Amino acid sequence: MARHIILASNSPRRKELMKMAGFEFEVKSKNVDENHPEGMKAEEIPVHLASKKAKVFLSEITDNEVVIGADTIVILKGKIYEKPVDREDAIQMLAALSGQMHEVVTGVCILSKQKEVVFSDTTKVYFNQLTREEIEFYVDNYKPFDKAGSYACQEWIGAVAINRFEGDYFNVVGLPINRVHQELKKF
């Protein structure tokens, strides 16, 4: 597999995971409209957006290039939590997640000129009950404004809040790297 890989994401966490898996790749990303069709099922949104993020490169890639797009959302009781808009929104999201199990869904699109593979991976994450004080401490010190669900599991809150994962931990970090690795081997 001597293909040139383009990671269409600015997320430093996704970059870390791609490095961890031993890939050589280039990071390139373009702003895409992150809206999704009205009435689309929650589970389908990450794949839809991942595909959009990859497809903006379709016209400019060579035959030897592969683009990876990804999008992560949090789903709690059927409701979608994306990136918070501000401090209060982040606090409210974390208050909603407190004491509950939620799902982290990352959609991935792997695209070349010849083919496209899309899939999504879901991990269940169990949060302890958090106090308002703990939530504010986290938001004010870690500023999780670029994170779906307003948290990063590899930060302080991961130690304090999360008592259980079911699924791929790295999917919660931002990319289901095991599945990505398997799909890229076949690509």
Residues identified as active-site = 71
**Residues in Cβ contact with 71 at an 8 Å cutoff, skipping those fewer than 6 apart:** 34, 45, 46, 47, 48, 49, 50, 53, 106, 107
Assess contact for 169 and 51: CB atoms under 8 A. Answer: no
Is residue 98 part of the contact set for its own copies (CB under 8 A)? no
Q: Using alpha carbons, select from 180, 170, 182, 140 the residue that is nearest to residue 157.
A: 140
Measured from the CB atom, the residue of 35 and 128 that comes closer to its own copies is 128
Residue 144, classed as helix, strand or coil, is coil
Q: Please state the closest distance from residue 143 (CB atom) to its own copies, in A.
A: 16
According to CB under 8 A, which residues from 123 to 152 bind its own copies?
128
Is residue 164 part of the contact set for its own copies (CB under 8 A)? yes
Among 57, 81, 151, 169, binds its own copies (CB under 8 A): 169
Q: Please state the closest distance from residue 63 (CB atom) to its own copies, in A.
A: 27
Residue with tokens 């792997």: 110
Residue 71, classed as helix, strand or coil, is strand
Among 21, 27, 76, 95, binds its own copies (CB under 8 A): 21
Q: Please state the closest distance from residue 184 (CB atom) to its own copies, in A.
A: 11
Which residue ranges make up the site for its own copies (CB under 8 A)? 17, 20-22, 128, 153-156, 158-170, 177-179, 181-182
